[in-house]
Amino acid sequence: MSEACTSRELMIYTISRLLKGVRHVAVGQSSPMPAAGAMLLRALNQRDGLEHVQVSILGSVKHNSFTGGAEELFDCAAQGRLDAFFLGGGQIDGQGNVNLVGTGDYPNNPVRWPGSFGSAYLYFLVPRVILFREEHSLRSLVERVDFVSAPGVTDGTVYRRGGPHALLTNAALFSFDREAGRFRLESTHPGYGWRDIRGTTGFSYDNERCEVTTPLPDEATLALIRGRIREELRECYPQFAGNMPGPN
């Protein structure tokens, strides 16, 4: 990775690119990089005179218009007033299924995670769900999740307006084809090649020998991340913001 841009800053910038065109994006309470990406898109749109982007971060006072917490978030999604959301997961598989419960056979999982919460609900209703995992490894990107907290694809008999849009890791960016139910490798981050991605991804995907490198932010955008976005993050993610590079 270039000294001019850290891995996390590249992911923040990539998130802002994945969110282009949205009007309202919501972010969970423990998602500093997705929050930063949403804030960056809002700042870039303001700078360039484009449409305002509403950013709702659960747990934030300054960047959240909700007064009812997650309940209001779910209502907003059901009413079609939410364009994008983020889901992580201990495991993500090649069909876009997400596991937030634990590894092994449920309910006797040897490893337990926080739980599914409203992930399946939002996965069905939010048009652009970005799957996000900072770790790119065989244990996190698996052939088949041990437990389906939220399914990536469903048959035509089920009403569904939402679903996976992309998968972003610390090493690569994938898009998702909902009709085929498969990921497609779109780019690898600086320092990684397609062989690295193939060796650390447990599921099959299209465009396996991709040689496109994920674009880096320009100097003005990087300065925006290290200045305004870093300061906006301090309110709800002070430790994360404190570990980010500051302005020159």
Stretch 186-191: mean pLDDT: 98
Q: What is the pLDDT of residue 28?
A: 86
Q: What is the mean pLDDT of the chain?
A: 94
Q: What is the pLDDT of residue 1?
A: 45
Q: What is the pLDDT of residue 69?
A: 76
Residues 6+ apart with CB under 8 A from 132: 15, 31, 33, 34, 86, 87, 88, 167, 168
Q: What is the pLDDT of residue 68?
A: 77
User: Domain map of the chain by residue range?
Assistant: 7-242
Does CATH number 3.40.1260.10 belong to domain 7-242? no
Residue 224 DSSP symbol: H
For residue range 144-172, list pLDDT tens digits in order.
Answer: 999 999 999 999 899 999 999 999 999 99
User: How many CA atoms lie less than 13 Å away from 238 in the CB half-sphere?
Assistant: 1
Residues 6+ apart with CB under 8 A from 226: 9, 244, 245, 246, 247, 248
What is the Cα–Cα distance from 78 to 216, expressed in whole angstroms?
35
For residue range 103-146, list pLDDT tens digits in order.
Answer: 999 988 999 998 898 999 999 999 999 999 999 999 999 999 99
Above 90 in pLDDT, residue 83? yes
Residue with tokens 């490798």: 185
